Amino acid sequence: MSGMQDRSDSQNTPNDAPDDEIEVRKGVDVIADEVKRLPNGPGVYRMLDEKGEVLYVGKARSLKKRVTSYTRLQGQSNRIMRMIMSTAAMEFVVTQTEPEALLLEANLIKRLRPRFNVLLRDDKSFPYILVTGDHASAAIVKHRGARKRKGDYFGPFASAGAVDRTINALQKAFLIRTCSDSYYENRTRPCLQYQIKRCAGPCTGEISPEDYQGLVSEAKAFLSGRSQLIKKQLAEQMETASADLEFERAAIYRDRLTALSHVQAHQGINPQSVEEADVFAIHQEGGQTCVQVFFFRTGQNWGNRAYFPKADKSWEEADILESFLAQFYDDKPAPKQILLSHGLSEQELLAEALSEKTGRKVDVATPKRGEKKDLVEHALTNAREALGRRLAETSSQNRLLKGVAEAFDLPDTPRRVEVYDNSHIMGTNAVGGMIVAGMEGFAKGQYRKFNIKSEDLVPGDDYGMMREVLTRRFSRLLKEHARPEAASGADAELDPDDQDDAVEEQAPAVTEMPAWPDLVLIDGGQGQLTAARETLEELGIEDVPLVGIAKGPDRDAGREKFFIPGRQSFMLPERDPVLYFVQRLRDEAHRFAIGSHRARRKKDIVKNPLDEIAGIGPTRKKALLRHFGTAKAVSKAGVDDLAAVPGISEAIAKLVYDHFHE
């Protein structure tokens, strides 16, 4: 059936045709109309709904052929039919090659997060070890983010903990400094790290620059995969020192060998035939998917991580893995080799695209035998176990949420629970915190903090703070998501004044979290609850369930009182799992609020008075502090003294003087 025939069929559809069929025909008409203007070359296409939101991003060797396939309804899956039914417009980007289209597709999926694509979640950046190259005495530090600093990067490591353990052992083995350059420059005698034999003390000349550079070279060699050679050299030096009866020096080499053995002992599998590879295995069960990835660099195992991509149940494992890989390497370099548990339909294309992006050959393989096959099987076992644990946790979470619905007389099991708490000291640096929990645990990516801004509040007015937080939160919610809720999705937007309040924390993946809460928990008793209820009523919101949690006598956990509008306060049985669950929610809200408060307080403590002067940038501030020593001394200086500072004109000097002498 051609696109033109589809258009004809849609025009002849009977008036009593089912609504779904009419919607599908509308989508087919839109797609068929776009096909007329499409080239046969490669590119990326986007399907959009009536609101302009992207439904799906795909790539094609031939845009015309690929998009035409959506006009043939026979044999399409339910997912594709729903996608076609929702399509109101399409957009296209023509590319030079198909690998280029693949890379662009992955980038757009990660950026736009269309609901019909496979979505990579929990995609935080990986930590690396950096041996700095911008100082005469190199340091070894943990690094995450863009590689702007000069030096040698080793990684990725699966977790910050793995990096910390490795750096700790490398300090003992190679005595490399971990301090900042400014700390290094201001030393007049060796620090504690030298005393406990974790640094060679280059800052005060305890070791010559040449010998220290030798230690740095050994550390790089070890991280580059030549660990056996380094260990052999250390063993020979230990034996030589022992034979010369220099037992103290021999003991140093012994301790360094022990430290290196400790690094490799924590790495588990250390393959002999795999120098640099990422190993991926995928497992599906219970409608969910787990992708387990192991990182092998320089013949060493640098950890593993489990991912739980969001995908429709109709997606096959190999298709999910293929889309996952393209997104995974969108913002990180690919290793020389990628080993997979499943063969991919476009495996060669993926290898070509990654090779083009990396600038060297990348081999993508599905091993059938030998050590590489064993590595994949090991990753697959880990994927099964990780998914099993996740399914068990999800099941437990669902039971607890059902218990919450029963305890608080909710009409349905809540899918989104929001908990609010405030933190301040005598009203200063006041912060309101909101945490979110759902079917899969805490949704930390949707946590929000609210810096209390109202100047009319009496310091310490907890009720006023709660009113401000809820007003700002639900006012924005009303603007962004009309009631009743028509679509699900993360509430990732705040009002313009709150953009800097958004907090990103790493979290378990969250599936189809609704924008509006099914339950709001307030950390406080009847007074806080009344303030919250009145605030929502002023906004015209009366159907969001509210519950206040008052701490028990002497703040005892287990004796909390619960307040619900229109009901007498009550307590839950002491050992009720629902009580423990609610306590966990409240404690998480308290942790988040007080952490945000401390961060704001710390920022205020280190704030420099010179930052408040318009026209004083980093260069002038540095010049003033270098000349006078402290901001306090600057505040006491006269105009002539200020003007004597290099880079400070008379006009700027008067500006600074006037600021401190209003």
**How much is the pLDDT for 170?**
81
Instruction: Give residue 4's pLDDT band: very low, low, confident or very high (50, 70, 90).
Output: very low
State the CATH class of domain 409-598: alpha beta
Residue 485 confidence (pLDDT) above 50 = no
Closest CA to 413 of 590, 578, 589: 578
- Contact criterion met (CB below 8 Å) for 416 and 438: yes
**How much is the pLDDT for 2?**
35
Fold classification of 609-660 (topology level): DNA polymerase; domain 1 (1.10.150)
- List of residues 6+ apart from 549 with CB closer than 8 A: 521, 522, 523, 524, 560, 561, 562, 563, 582, 586
**How much is the pLDDT for 228?**
63
User: What mean pLDDT, rounded, does the chain reach?
Assistant: 82
Residue 212 tokens read as 């220290």
Residue 594 confidence (pLDDT) above 80 = yes
| pLDDT tens readout for residues 103-135 | 999 999 988 999 899 998 766 778 888 999 989
3-state SS, 555-571, equals HCCCCCEEECCCCCCEC
CATH number (3.30.70, 3.30.420, 2.60.40, 1.10.60) of 277-389 reads 3.30.420
Q: Round to whole Å and give the CA distance between 523 and 421.
A: 5
φ, ψ of residue 407 in degrees (nearest 5):
-65, -35
The reply to whether 277-389 and 409-598 are identical in fold is yes
Q: What does pTM read for this prediction?
A: 0.68
Residues 235-239 have a mean pLDDT of: 77
Residue 492 confidence (pLDDT) above 60 = no
**How much is the pLDDT for 7?**
35
Q: Round to whole Å and give the CA distance between 203 and 506.
A: 37
Q: Round to whole Å and give the CA distance between 252 and 263.
A: 17
Instruction: Give residue 25's pLDDT band: very low, low, confident or very high (50, 70, 90).
Output: confident
**How much is the pLDDT for 496?**
38
Residue 493 confidence (pLDDT) above 60 = no
pLDDT greater at residue 121 or residue 537: 537
- List of residues 6+ apart from 557 with CB closer than 8 A: 583
The radius of gyration of the chain from alpha carbons, rounded to an integer in Å, stands at: 31
- Contact criterion met (CB below 8 Å) for 642 and 634: yes
Residue 229 confidence (pLDDT) above 80 = no
**How much is the pLDDT for 488?**
38
Q: Round to whole Å and give the CA distance between 329 and 321.
A: 12
Residue 427 confidence (pLDDT) above 60 = no
- Contact criterion met (CB below 8 Å) for 460 and 424: yes
Residues 291-316 have a mean pLDDT of: 86
Closest CA to 525 of 559, 550, 562: 550
Residues 565-586 have a mean pLDDT of: 88
Residues 135-148 have a mean pLDDT of: 88
**How much is the pLDDT for 557?**
60
CATH number (3.40.1440.10, 3.40.50.620, 3.40.50.720, 3.40.50.300) of 3-112 reads 3.40.1440.10
**How much is the pLDDT for 260?**
66
Instruction: Give residue 441's pLDDT band: very low, low, confident or very high (50, 70, 90).
Output: confident
- Contact criterion met (CB below 8 Å) for 521 and 585: yes
**How much is the pLDDT for 157?**
83
Query: 70-79, 389-398, 549-558: which has the minimum mean pLDDT?
Result: 549-558
**How much is the pLDDT for 318?**
93
Q: Round to whole Å and give the CA distance between 57 and 116.
A: 8
Residue 52 tokens read as 């302009």
- List of residues 6+ apart from 252 with CB closer than 8 A: 197
Residues 347-367 have a mean pLDDT of: 92
Instruction: Give residue 605's pLDDT band: very low, low, confident or very high (50, 70, 90).
Output: low
Instruction: Give residue 464's pLDDT band: very low, low, confident or very high (50, 70, 90).
Output: confident
Residue 366 confidence (pLDDT) above 70 = yes
Residues 265-289 have a mean pLDDT of: 77
Residue 600 confidence (pLDDT) above 60 = yes
Q: Round to whole Å and give the CA distance between 304 and 301.
A: 8
Residue 378 tokens read as 């090991």
Domain range summary for the chain, segments of one domain joined by +? 3-112, 127-265, 277-389, 409-598, 609-660
Query: 136-145, 460-469, 524-533: which has the minimum mean pLDDT?
Result: 460-469
Residue 497 confidence (pLDDT) above 70 = no
Q: Round to whole Å and give the CA distance between 110 and 328.
A: 9
**How much is the pLDDT for 494?**
40
pLDDT greater at residue 24 or residue 317: 317
Query: 99-108, 138-147, 233-242: which has the minimum mean pLDDT?
Result: 233-242
Residue 12 confidence (pLDDT) above 60 = no
Residues 295-320 have a mean pLDDT of: 86
Residue 415 confidence (pLDDT) above 50 = yes
- Contact criterion met (CB below 8 Å) for 635 and 589: no
